[in-house]
Amino acid sequence: MKKTTVINSQLSTVIAGMGHMDWLSIGDAGMPVPLGTKKIDLALTKEIPSFMDVLKNVLAELKVQKIYLADEIKTQNPDQLKAIKDVLPDVEIEFMPHSDLKKDLAKCHAFVRTGEMTPFSNIILESGVTF
């Protein structure tokens, strides 16, 4: 049995297969996922698991060099924005309209659906290198 942090087999496989500058997205329960993008559905019920719980779990195994967030998080969910900045203090953030973020999910290796029920709790993680 796997000893490290991410024990979900689908999520672990995606992370292990990522290279430099590949994208992985984590989002709320309502985010529409484009056909063709792998969806790893972790949602059990409202707020379980939370967006932040899943993000922290992924960050334990994935080196991230840049993140992408919706502009709307600044005004519609500033607490979530602060929480993201707290766990990724030295990572570059690029903001874009939510409609563009949704389109960019088609470029992700996978989308991880959480039970999060707060608006604009969606992120694209760009993988870095560990050397």
Which tokens sit at 118? 């707060």
Domain boundaries defined on the chain: 9-127
Q: Which is catalytic among the residues 5, 9, 17, 20?
A: 20
Give the mean model confidence (pLDDT) for residues 115-125. Answer: 98
Q: Is 99 annotated as a binding residue?
A: no
Q: Is 98 annotated as a binding residue?
A: yes
pLDDT at 2: 76
Query: How do residues 25-50 score in pLDDT, each as one tens digit?
Result: 999 999 999 999 999 999 999 999 99
Confidence of residue 3 (pLDDT cuts 50, 70, 90): confident
- For residues 29 and 48, what is the distance between their CA atoms, to the nearest angstrom? 10
Query: How do residues 61-72 score in pLDDT, each as one tens digit?
Result: 999 999 999 999
Tally Cβ neighbours within 10 Å of residue 35: 6
Q: Would you say residue 4 has pLDDT above 90?
A: no
For the segment(s) 9-127, the CATH number from 3.40.50.150, 2.40.110.10, 1.10.287.70, 3.40.1650.10 is 3.40.1650.10
Q: Mean pLDDT across the chain, nearest whole number?
A: 97
